[in-house]
């Protein structure tokens, strides 16, 4: 489980964009996003760095919490 904080994710459109970026990095990843707390939780076998990069390439800042 990768637990990211994406502070610049501010609306439903951002959520969709971030989710798409995560799925693009790993199509079998399970992603759970809570807009209120800017939390993006990802279940994947791939390393967190892969998702940090994907989120960044989508135009957002993913800060790894754990």
Q: Tell me the CA end-to-end span of the chain in Å, nearest whole number.
A: 8
| Helix or strand (DSSP H, E) at 27 | none
- Nearest distance from residue 33's CB to Cu ion, in Å? 12
| 21 in contact with Cu ion (CB under 5 A) | no
Give the total of residues touching Cu ion (CB under 5 A): 4
Burial of 26 (0-12, 13-18, 19+ CB in 10 A): middle
| 37 in contact with Cu ion (CB under 5 A) | no
Nearer to Cu ion, 43 or 63 (CB): 63
Nearer to Cu ion, 6 or 14 (CB): 14
Q: Which of 2, 4, 6, 14 binds Cu ion (CB under 5 A)?
A: 14
């Amino acid at each position: 489980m990768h637990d990211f904080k994406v502070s610049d994710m501010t609306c439903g459109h951002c959520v969709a964009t971030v989710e798409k970026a995560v799925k693009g990095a790993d199509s079998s990843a399970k992603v759970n996003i809570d807009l209120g707390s800017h939390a993006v939780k990802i279940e994947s076998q791939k390393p967190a760095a892969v998702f940090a990069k994907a989120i960044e390439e989508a135009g957002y800042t993913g800060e790894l919490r754990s």
